[in-house]
Amino acid sequence: MSHAGPFTVALALAAGIAIQCLARSVRIPAIILLLGTGVALGPVGLGLVQPGALGSGLFAVVDFAVAVILFEGALNLKAPRLQREERVIRRLLTIGVAVSLVGGAAAAWIVLGWSWQLALLFGSLVVVTGPTVVSPLVRDMRLRPRLQTILEAEGVLIDPVGALLAALVFQVTVAVDGSGVFDEFGGLAARVGLGLAIGGIGGLVIAGLLRLPRLVHGYENALTLALVVFLFYLGDLLLPPSGLLAVTAAGLVVGGLQTPVDEDLREFKDQLTVLLVGAVFILLAANVGIEEMRRLGWQGAAVLAVLVLLVRPAGVWLATRGTELTLRERWFMSFVAPRGIVAAAVTSLVANTLDAQGVPGGDQLRAMVFTVIVGTVLVAGAVAWPLAVTLGLRLPRRDRIAILGAQGLGLTLGRVLRDAGRSVVFIDTDPRRCRVAEADGFPVVYGDGLLERTLRRVPIELVDVAIGATFNDHLNSQFARLAHETFSVPHALVSVDSFDGSRAPEHVRKSHASVLFDSAHDQERWDVRWRQGQIEVVWLEWQGADDGDTEPAASGGGDGSAARTSAEQSVILAIERGGRIRPMTSDLQPRSGDRAAVAIYTPEREQALARLADAGWRRTANPEREPEGDADRPREARDL
């Protein structure tokens, strides 16, 4: 038995991540499988997971996991979006919480016949929604941005609110007599103030340290994790449970300050959160008495129905009355409120405290809350998708191509893609270039492509491919990174003027982008040629070997050499494969049947075609797709 505790943790970690991988592949909410696995592996099942063997260490593990999860959730919330929806979010965290507290308590008191103290405790424990359930659900559905922001923010920010509320209710109803009620409300204000202060200062310290690469280089993730855990336990040491509020506030501060290692930090926290969520759900589910859940009988199901069909809709409608939310959005929010890990963790802690103090009802409380967790997750998983489709709240399919830089090769590529049936929109800060693109029939967004408000006008949520095609390599990479990380654009491509040896530059690799075109190219040189009408687009067909050893970039590479000079005779712009066209990238290997749109420098046309033929490309007849460069070039381009 001495090894039961460590084995329990190890098995929970391994089973948790395995189940989440399975859930993703079969598109089932992971929490459902995690809860079932926890019960199956726990004392009432196979007996392999023994939470009791951990003793008080169980809640140390849970506390650590909750701290990391809340920090990660807050880290991913974007300040501009929160500010736009601040009124709705604030009212959900106040009016919505109050309705859930009173409604949940009334249901438990009337239907289950519990004492008012236990019923009020139950109401305080079910006010939260779970960010670990809500966020993946709404992101997979691709909800409209406003609705997604509100639901994600509610899921993250309501957790510390719910934990503080549960602590207050516990102290008022169980731990003190009536004379200490006002003292407890004063204690709540102190906890909120302390949590915000610790989190705010701690977030500034973390962000400041991350801006000192010489000091923390290589240890950024470990440093952040250590400080987050420290802030959590510091808050709980001084005034529990202010640690939850502290790590949430710290996450908001660090996320809002855009630290230099922002991407790596988020990726690390995402992976760690996935690992911890799986383990903690299995441990907590294994600690639930299934027999107690069965004893609830129809009354437990009735309380769940009241929460789902009456309490949540009432809270949403009262909290969103008079706001800009549409009726369809309010209906959807009314039926998407799955409870998650914080509800499970705080409930287990409260129930164990009740048991330790000899107060009856701990097992019933734990069983009823876990019934609510399972039931609300099942309801959300079952109705969210069809309800979003029926109400028209999902974004259309991503099918647009956004190109930053309305110039030379970018415009030439845009014309090829548009003529093949793709929807293309340009973004630029130069009014003259914008006018040229508009004269060529393209939709154009005038503004800074690195600002969120500019990308909202694209709209970026409908973009499938984001292309950085300016003269500035680093600007291209920043645009690609913003599109990919902030707006989840699936594909990001950037043009570069040189390679780092045989690899793409480091800033391109860090932005999770591919190199645009067949190789590095001198964009400014091609822009001059375009303005002078010296570019022709021809279509070629691949007739070389398909062994994967051929260079996809027939134009080669190199810098300042004869190879570089010859490389600037042509640029492979796009590849048509299987009836669908896509922008060319340097890592794309041509296959039999591929057709390529190639920009040719007309003064060296014959040399370029000969060189392309040597590489395996042959001319194909397709006159309707081969506009002569100067013929379709807008007249305004000559004035650039």
Q: Please indicate, yes or no, whether residues 356 and 465 belong to a single structural domain of this protein.
A: no
pLDDT, the chain, mean: 81
Distance of CA 466 to the CA centre of its chain: 17
Q: Residue 593: give the domain boundaries.
A: 400-639
Residue position matching structure tokens 């033929």: 613
Better-predicted residue by pLDDT, 601 or 265: 601
Q: Is residue 30 part of a domain?
A: yes
Q: Please indicate, yes or no, whether residues 348 and 436 belong to a single structural domain of this protein.
A: no
Of 369, 390, 411, which one is at a domain's C-terminal end?
Answer: 390
Where are the alpha helices (H) located in 307-423, listed in sequence order? 312-319, 327-334, 341-356, 362-390, 408-419
What CATH number should be reported for the domain holding residue 333? 1.20.1530.20
Confidence band of 503 (pLDDT split at 50, 70, 90): low
Tokens standing for residue 194: 């302390």
- pLDDT tens profile 306-361: 999 999 999 999 999 988 889 999 999 998 888 877 787 778 778 777 777 777 77
For 233-265, letters b (16+ CB in 10 Å) and e give: bbbbeebbbbbbbbbbbbbbbbbbbebebbeeb
Of 390, 416, 451, which one is at a domain's C-terminal end?
Answer: 390
Q: Is residue 152 part of a domain?
A: yes
Give CA separation, 463 vs 359, 403, 456, in Å: 57, 10, 11
Please choose, from the candidates 92, 94, 116, the residue with its C-alpha nearest in 3D space to the C-alpha of residue 105.
116
Confidence band of 627 (pLDDT split at 50, 70, 90): very low
Q: Please indicate, yes or no, whether residues 608 and 509 belong to a single structural domain of this protein.
A: yes
Q: Is residue 478 part of a domain?
A: yes
Q: Please indicate, yes or no, whether residues 359 and 493 belong to a single structural domain of this protein.
A: no
Q: Which of 182-191, 463-472, 477-486 has the highest mean pLDDT?
A: 463-472
- Contact between 15 and 278 (Cβ < 8 Å): yes
User: In the prediction, which pLDDT does 1 show?
Assistant: 44
- Contact between 473 and 505 (Cβ < 8 Å): yes
d(CA 215, CA 290): 51
User: In the prediction, which pLDDT does 263 show?
Assistant: 59
Residue position matching structure tokens 């189940």: 19
Q: Please indicate, yes or no, whether residues 313 and 350 belong to a single structural domain of this protein.
A: yes
- pLDDT tens profile 354-382: 777 777 777 888 889 888 888 888 888 78
Domain count within the chain: 2
Q: Please indicate, yes or no, whether residues 500 and 634 belong to a single structural domain of this protein.
A: yes
Single-letter amino acid, residue 214: R
Better-predicted residue by pLDDT, 390 or 511: 390
Q: Is residue 511 part of a domain?
A: yes
Q: Please indicate, yes or no, whether residues 336 and 465 belong to a single structural domain of this protein.
A: no
Say how many Å lie between the first and final Cα of the chain, rounded. Answer: 79
Of 390, 421, 445, which one is at a domain's C-terminal end?
Answer: 390
Better-predicted residue by pLDDT, 280 or 14: 14
Q: Is residue 617 part of a domain?
A: yes
- Contact between 521 and 567 (Cβ < 8 Å): yes
Please choose, from the candidates 485, 474, 546, 557, the residue with its C-alpha nearest in 3D space to the C-alpha of residue 521.
557
d(CA 479, CA 485): 10
What CATH number should be reported for the domain holding residue 516? 3.40.50.720
Q: Is residue 184 part of a domain?
A: yes
Q: Please indicate, yes or no, whether residues 222 and 342 belong to a single structural domain of this protein.
A: yes
Does an H or E element contain 148, and which? helix 145-170
* β partners of residue 400: 423, 463
Q: Please indicate, yes or no, whether residues 240 and 340 belong to a single structural domain of this protein.
A: yes
Q: Please indicate, yes or no, whether residues 299 and 346 belong to a single structural domain of this protein.
A: yes
| Across 540-553, average pLDDT | 63
Q: Please indicate, yes or no, whether residues 413 and 363 belong to a single structural domain of this protein.
A: no
Check whether the bond before 213 is cis (ω within 30° of 0). no
Q: Please indicate, yes or no, whether residues 385 and 412 belong to a single structural domain of this protein.
A: no
Q: Is residue 395 part of a domain?
A: no
d(CA 233, CA 71): 13
User: In the prediction, which pLDDT does 178 show?
Assistant: 46
| Across 511-538, average pLDDT | 87
Q: Which 3-state string (H, E, C) describes 568-612?
A: CCEEEEEEEECCEEEECECCCCCCCCCEEEEEEEHHHHHHHHHHH
Give yes or no for residue 551 having a pLDDT over 70.
no
Q: Is residue 448 part of a domain?
A: yes
